[in-house]
Amino acid sequence: MTQRNPNADTAASPGDSRRESQGNSLDWRKAIVIRAFAQSPDFLGSTVFLHSLEDYRAVFRRARSLGFQGVQLYLEISGGVLNLSTPGAALEELAALARAEGVQFPSLEIAPLQYSFTSDDPSERRRGKEVVARAMEIARGLGCSGVLVIPGYVGKMWDPGTDQVSYDHAYDRTLEALRELAPAAERLRVPMLVEPIWNMFLLSPLEMRRLVDEVGSPWCGVLLDTGNVTLCGFAEQWIRILGSRVREIHMKDFRRQVGTINGFAPLLAGDVNWPAVTAAARVVGFSGFWTAEQFPYPHHGQTILEHTSLAMDRILGCVASSHKQTQEV
């Protein structure tokens, strides 16, 4: 007997007029990663500028003044204000600060590639599951909409010296880990959102769709990063093929002709076809957070915040004219 998969409602076709007619009423929320507020222009930013809860309050206030409804938090493995050992009382206080400023939390990002489902070392894989399980508890305490999961890697495109992991083993181990964690995700009501990155793994939307469906739980979905998939694909195709499995979208842009991490660009300055991306999102009925993953410029770094907010308003068709815009001093 074949069991129906809860994710098996495949993506709507472009001709599905019922879904298209819902496009303008979808709940699209505008968010930004907390690392965008860093003082460093390093790729992927940093959270070292967050020394206290008051620093978080300042970020939330600044984000809201620029028209962002959400801020994606970053969970360190150790160190910093927000880490795996942060007590429940501190989580409640942080959540209260966000509510006071009118800010919501999209998925919780765990420090990437500092945990692994794919490693050849069984103890590392066990630790990886413990990290994600704890992150789901923290996300529950904070009121995050999910946990961003990067399963590990087959290789790292930016580091050819990295030890390889066999692709089939990486897939099987990831599937096993997600299945094992699915009951906890359901109990906590915190979805696990797998993100495609440059880890030489889960390289196509067909493969990602298969993985999510084989997990067999509505508490496992996808965080689709538009920039990450543009090197050798099209974000709009990923959205159309994955359909309702896409629970959140990271907004990045990328220039294919550069072809390295230096190809990541500010929104509207790369090769992502934003009209096609938003059209695909409407067709499949996507609702939720569009989270900009942008980082400070080398000079006058915080200008990235204003530029990103304006670009998102143009892309998403929701100019936030009612929000007071602040100027960088």
**8 A C-beta contact, residue 247 and residue 288:** yes
Give domain status of residue 1, yes or no. no
**For position 319, what pLDDT does the model report?**
35
Give domain status of residue 9, yes or no. no
Token code pair at residue 60: 């939330």
Q: 222 is in which domain, residue-wise?
A: 17-316
CA distance 133 to 182: 10
Give domain status of residue 7, yes or no. no
Q: Where are the alpha helices (DSSP H) in the chain?
A: 17-21, 53-65, 88-101, 122-142, 167-188, 205-215, 235-242, 274-283, 303-316
Give domain status of residue 183, yes or no. yes
**For position 166, what pLDDT does the model report?**
96
Place of tokens 């939720």: 288
64-97 residue pLDDT tens: 999 999 999 999 999 999 999 999 999 999 999 9
The CATH number linked to 102 is: 3.20.20.150
Phi/psi of residue 63, each to 5°?
Answer: -60, -45
**For position 320, what pLDDT does the model report?**
35
**For position 271, what pLDDT does the model report?**
96
Give domain status of residue 8, yes or no. no
CA distance 149 to 108: 9
**For position 157, what pLDDT does the model report?**
81
Total domains, the chain: 1
223-258 residue pLDDT tens: 999 999 999 999 999 999 999 999 999 999 999 999
**For position 25, what pLDDT does the model report?**
64
**Residues of the chain where predicted confidence (pLDDT) is lower than 50:** 1-24, 319-329
Give domain status of residue 257, yes or no. yes
**8 A C-beta contact, residue 30 and residue 311:** no
**For position 244, what pLDDT does the model report?**
97
Give domain status of residue 29, yes or no. yes
Give domain status of residue 12, yes or no. no
Q: Which of 175, 159, 164, 176 is nearest to 120 (CA)?
A: 164
